[in-house]
């Protein structure tokens, strides 16, 4: 079956968005052409995917063409509560407070500094 192999984060301010994700998850960024950055989220050979960041097209002005506000990607974390705090301290806002999926784990959605929603998931088979 098809599986995600790449993600993109659309941002109004590429520097601000890089700083946010670097502070929150420790991701690294490398330029790739104009207004595009490759994102490395972890070591080769470990679970997960890498992605990209691009200058948002359309802006957030309601009268402008529809902006691309990205796809909700979920990041595996080891402590959902700690990462929610880190996200908020880095400039995020809550989109959906921590919830549980029985037998799977706990998740929360935040909005980054660019208004994009992203998820974080802590695996916990004992979740109820």
Whole-number pLDDT of residue 91: 97
In tens, the pLDDT along 23-63 reads 999 999 999 988 889 999 999 999 899 999 988 766 666 56
Which position has the higher pLDDT, 20 or 96?
20
Whole-number pLDDT of residue 109: 85
Sorted by where each starts, the structural domains of the chain and their CATH numbers stand as 7-59+68-123 (3.10.180.10)
Q: Which helix (H) or strand (E) holds 18?
A: helix 14-25
In tens, the pLDDT along 64-115 reads 655 666 556 889 999 999 999 999 999 999 988 998 988 989 989 898 998 8
pLDDT band at 1 (very low <50, low <70, confident <90, very high): low
Whole-number pLDDT of residue 8: 86
Whole-number pLDDT of residue 68: 63
What is the rounded distance in angstroms from the CA atom of residue 104 to the CA atom of residue 111?
A: 23
Whole-number pLDDT of residue 65: 58
């Amino acid at each position: 079956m098809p599986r995600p192999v790449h993600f993109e984060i659309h941002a109004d301010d590429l520097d601000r968005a890089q700083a946010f994700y670097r502070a929150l998850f420790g991701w690294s960024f490398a330029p790739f052409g104009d207004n595009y950055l490759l994102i490395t989220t972890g070591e080769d050979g470990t679970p997960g995917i890498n992605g990209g960041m691009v200058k948002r097209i359309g802006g957030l002005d309601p009268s402008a063409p529809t902006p691309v506000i990205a796809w909700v990607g979920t990041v595996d974390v080891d402590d959902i509560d700690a990462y929610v705090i880190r996200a908020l301290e880095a400039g995020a806002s809550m989109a959906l407070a921590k919830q549980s999926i029985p037998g799977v784990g706990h998740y929360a959605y935040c909005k980054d500094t660019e208004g994009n929603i992203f998820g974080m998931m802590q695996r916990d088979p004992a979740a109820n």
